[in-house]
Each structure stands twice: as C-alpha cells, then as structure tokens.
Structure 1
Amino acid sequence: MKTLFVSYRVTDLARSLGFYTALGYTELGRVEVGDGAGLVILKFPDEPAASLELVHRPGAPAVDVGSGFDHLAIQVERLAATLETLTEAGLRPEPLQYPGGPDGPKTSWLTDPDGYRIELVEWPSGHPGGITEADFA
C-alpha cells in the first residue's frame, strides 16, 4: 500500500488554485462532478504523480479546518530561496525557524485561503528525503 494524495475541501476553487500554483504545484487535470462541484488534481513538477486534490462543493457546509486535521508538510531544497519566491508571489510565509537547533531541519509555515496549515521543510545536508526510522534511533 502507499498514500496516493491528500485531498482538501476548498471554499473558492479559483482562489485556492491560485494559492497552490503560486506555491509551485501544477495542474494535472480536473473532474466535474455536477451542480458546480469539481476536483482539481495537482502535483509538483518533479513528482511522478498527483500529490494534492482540491475538492470544491459549493452546496456543502463551510469548510471546518479545526476538525482534527493538523497540517501538510512539504519538502523544499532551499527554504530561504523558497520563502523569497513565495513572498514575491504574494503569499505570506512565516519566518524561518530551526526547531531542531542549528544543525537540524529548517522550517517555515504558511496558511492557505481556507486556513489549512502547511509546513515547509528543508532537511540538513545528507538527510534522506522524508522522515525515516533513522530519525527515531
């Protein structure tokens, strides 16, 4: 088994799509499901397959981001450069943080138009891409 993608329900599809494309995602495709509802499937350019789905259901109740979801984590190569690019694109990432100390990962946080939190992570040199068992040894 493997995780295919994360799916977010959004209140304004165009606004959310603008946010996520400014973040660096590209659109793979769309599915119209009727009554104005639809899905947009996204991925980062270097990813082989979809990693995010935006779901828009205009007739559904408001999005409740406080229902147990915490955040989405995205790995970046150079966080400082990424923060500059995002700021130039009109997004508002939080300042650079060092949660594991100066030799640990660098992080920053971003909030999408519906209030979903996104953690941007730059691993230290030599760290594998992602969290592995070695991180808990």
Structure 2
Amino acid sequence: MRTLFVGYRVTDLDRSLRFYTALGYAELGRVETGDGARLVILKFPDEPAASLELVHRPGAGPVDVGSGFDHLAIQVDDLATALRTLTEAGLTPGPIQYPGGTQGPKTSWLTDPDGYRIELVEWPSGHPDGLTAADFA
C-alpha cells in the first residue's frame, strides 16, 4: 500500500487554486461530482502523479480545519529560494526555523486561505527524501 494524495475541502475553489498554483502545484484534472461540487487534482511538476485534491462542496458549510488535521509537509530543494519565490507570488511564509538544530532540516510555515497549515522542509545535504527510520535511530 501507499498514500495516493491528500484531499482538502476548500471554501472558495478559485482562491485556493490561486494559492496552490503560487505554491508551485499544477492542475492535473477536474471532476464535477454533482450538486455544484467539484474536485481539482494537483501535483508538483516533478511528481509522477497527483499529490493533492481540492474538494469544493458549496452546500457543505464552512471548512473547519481545527477538527483533527494538523498540517501538510512539502519538501523543497532550497528553502531560502522557495521563500523568496512565494513572497514574490504574494504568499506570506514564516521565517526559517531549525527544529532539529542547525545540522537538521530547515523549515518554514505558511497557511492557505482556509487555514490549512503547510510546512516547507529542506533536508540537509545527503539526507534521503522524506522521513525514514534512520531519522529516529
């Protein structure tokens, strides 16, 4: 088994699409599900398949991100460059942090229009992509 993608319910699909395309996602496809509901499937250009689904259900009421969801983590190659690019696109990422000390990963946080938190992560040189068992040894 493997994770296919994360699905976020969003309040305003156009506003969310502007945010996520500014973050670097590209639209892969759309699905109309009836009653005005729509799904937009996204991926980063270098990803082989979808990694994020935006779900817009106009009749479902407000989005409540505080009911158990914490955050989405996104790997970047160069955090400083990513933060400059995001700021130029009108987004407001937070400062660079070093949660594991200066030899560990660099991170920054931003929040999407519905309040979903996003962690941007730059791994130290030589670190494999993603978290592995070695990170907890």
Alignment map for 1:126-137 (pairs within 5 Å): 126-137=126-137
**How big is the shift at 1:48?**
0.2
Matched length: 137
Return the TM-score normalized by structure 2. 0.99
Task: Find runs of 4+ consecutive structure 1 residues off by over 4 angstroms.
Answer: none
1:12-34 alpha-carbon deviations (Å, 9 max, x no partner): 00000000000000000000112
Return the TM-score normalized by structure 1. 0.99
Please name the residue that 1:78 is paired with.
78
Alignment map for 1:1-137 (pairs within 5 Å): 1-137=1-137
1:7-62 alpha-carbon deviations (Å, 9 max, x no partner): 00000000000000000000000001122110000000000000000000000021
User: For residue 64 of structure 1, what is the amino acid of its counterpart?
Assistant: D
Unmatched runs of 5 consecutive residues or more in structure 1? none
Unmatched runs of 5 consecutive residues or more in structure 2? none
User: For residue 8 of structure 2, what is the amino acid of its counterpart?
Assistant: Y
**Identity level (%):** 84
Aligned-pair Cα RMSD in Å: 0.5
SS in structure 2 opposite 1:32? strand
Distance, in Å, in 1 between the alignment partners of 2:102 and 2:28 is 37
Distance, in Å, in 2 between the alignment partners of 1:73 and 1:121 is 7
Distance, in Å, in 2 between the alignment partners of 1:4 and 1:67 is 22
Distance, in Å, in 2 between the alignment partners of 1:38 and 1:99 is 37
